[in-house]
């Protein structure tokens, strides 16, 4: 068997991180995943999966467990710890990561921490996959013929509402202001749609239901509901990178424009530090696209490591 010449760390154990680990481990690169506080990422809160190619009848946790086992089969080491901070591009060309178990050095790093949907704290955590969702593209088909509500006033909320109109009986958008933040084009689409109702100057204050969403309290009034979707934005898990040399955009997502030559499309502003998945993707946020980005980062990192001077190579 080929001797492993490089060590890499993958921060995050969602679809992007695990897909990257499967590729790097199979390529005989010593790979360590820092799983973080939420192993498996947001997909562990998903019930039945229907929109991941080749996967039917599995739940989110089952898919993530299968991906974890596959990565471990090829030699990936998983640390159930969070990274507190990193020292990028130290004098001798290594990246140092600090976690609960101490400091470790790596030749390269893939950042795949994901992003979390913004919540309102009205009891929604109890109803994940039981009438509550933050992804209409993922879950709209489960609400055929049902009465659903969408919270939000931006483009994402309008897109979710439009997707839901293909399945749901009634779609109501709850907007806390007296106008939408969405683009003019998106507003026209929704305002001209007779199947969508908008509640202006309104807020969801509470969710009711025994083991699923049954009703909502909106501005003090209880209304029947069979589904609730939040479309109020996401928060990338990049707070610990602020102040570092890894460039973030104005919304906290990792900027992948660091490689001006575009030789390594998934490289950040720091040489040897790559990114994949929802922490660098504010547009798609799908398991399948995260997996694709993870594979891209793995291939980029494998080729980048092969270009390193011999002095940077060190047996595992």
- CA 242 to chain CA centroid, Å, is 19
For 2, the token pair is 């080929």
State the catalytic residues.
Answer: 135, 138-139
Do 28 and 72 fall into the same domain? Answer: yes
225 and 238 assigned to the same domain: no
CATH code of residue 170: 3.50.50.60
Q: What pLDDT is recorded for position 4?
A: 58
**Which secondary-structure segment (H or E) carries 297?**
helix 287-306
Q: Where are the alpha helices (DSSP H) in 6-59?
A: 15-26
Number of domains in the chain: 2
State the pairing for strand pair 108-111/7-11. Answer: parallel
For residues 190 and 152, membership in a common domain is answered with: yes
**Of 230, 247, 266, at which residue does a domain stop?**
230
> Is residue 50 located within the same domain as residue 123?
no
Domain boundary among 230, 251, 271: 230
226 and 123 share one domain: yes
Q: Are residues 198 and 290 in the same domain?
A: no
Encoded tokens for 308 = 């390193």
* Burial of 205: CB neighbours in 10 Å, binned 0-12, 13-18, 19+: middle
**pLDDT value of residue 191:** 87
Show the domain range for 258: 7-116+234-312
State whether 241 and 217 are in the same domain.
no
Please report the pLDDT score of residue 258 as a whole number: 55
If one counts every other C-beta atom within 10 angstroms of the C-beta of residue 159, the result is: 19
What residues does 11 pair with on adjacent strands?
Answer: 34, 111
In a domain, 64, yes or no: yes
Q: Angle formed by the axes of helices 15-26 and 60-73, to 10°?
A: 20
Q: Could you report the per-residue pLDDT of 173-190, keeping only the tens digit for each?
A: 999 999 999 889 889 888
Calpha distance 307→80 (Å, rounded)? 31
Instruction: State the pLDDT at residue 48.
Output: 78
Which of 230, 261, 285 is a domain's end point? 230
Q: For the chain, which residues score pLDDT lower than 50?
A: 1-3, 311-316
Judge whether 2 lies within some domain. Answer: no
Residue 229's pLDDT is 97
**103 and 33 in one domain?**
yes
**Residues 295 and 219 placed together within one structural domain of the fold:** no
Supply the pLDDT for residue 114: 93
SS (H, E, C) 49-109: CCCCCCCCCCEHHHHHHHHHHHHHHCCCEEECCCEEEEECCCCCCCEEEEECCEEEEECEE
Please tell me whether residues 41 and 95 are part of one structural domain: yes
Helix (H) or strand (E) holding 199: strand 196-199
Measured distance CA(178)–CA(283) in Å, rounded? 26
Residues 140 and 272 in one domain: no
Asked if the structure places residue 1 within a domain, the reply is no
pLDDT, residue 14, reads 93
| Residues 125 and 222 grouped into a single domain | yes
Q: Three-class SS of residue 241?
A: helix
In this structure, the number of other CB atoms found within 10 A of the CB of residue 145 comes to 9
Q: pLDDT at position 1, please?
A: 43
């Amino acid at each position: 068997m080929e001797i492993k010449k490089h060590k890499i760390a993958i921060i995050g154990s969602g679809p992007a991180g695990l897909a990257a680990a499967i590729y790097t481990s199979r390529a005989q690169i010593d790979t360590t995943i820092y799983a973080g506080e939420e192993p498996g990422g947001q997909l562990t809160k998903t019930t039945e999966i229907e929109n991941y190619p080749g996967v039917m009848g599995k739940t989110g946790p089952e898919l993530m467990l299968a991906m974890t086992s596959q990565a471990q089969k090829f030699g990936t080491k998983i640390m159930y710890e969070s990274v507190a901070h990193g020292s990028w591009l130290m004098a001798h060309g290594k990246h140092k990561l600090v976690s609960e178990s101490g400091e470790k050095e790596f030749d390269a790093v893939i950042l795949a921490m994901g992003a979390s949907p913004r919540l309102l704290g009205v009891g929604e955590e109890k109803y994940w996959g039981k009438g509550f969702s933050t992804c209409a593209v993922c879950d709209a088909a489960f609400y055929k013929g049902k009465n659903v509500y969408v919270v939000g006033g931006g483009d994402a909320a309008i897109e979710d509402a439009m997707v839901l109109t293909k399945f749901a009986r009634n779609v109501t958008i709850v907007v806390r202001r007296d106008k939408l933040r969405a683009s003019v084009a998106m507003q026209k689409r929704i305002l001209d749609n007779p199947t969508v109702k908008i509640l202006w100057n309104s807020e969801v204050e509470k969710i009711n239901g025994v083991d699923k969403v049954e009703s909502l309290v909106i501005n003090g009034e209880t209304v029947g509901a069979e589904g609730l979707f939040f479309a109020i934005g996401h928060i990338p898990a990049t707070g610990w990178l602020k102040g570092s040399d890894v460039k973030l955009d104005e919304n906290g997502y990792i900027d992948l424009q660091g490689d001006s030559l575009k030789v390594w499309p998934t490289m950040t502003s720091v040489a040897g530090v790559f990114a994949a998945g929802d922490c660098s993707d504010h547009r798609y946020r799908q398991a399948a696209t995260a997996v694709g980005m993870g594979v891209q980062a793995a291939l980029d990192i494998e080729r980048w490591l092969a270009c390193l001077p011999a002095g940077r190579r060190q047996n595992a």
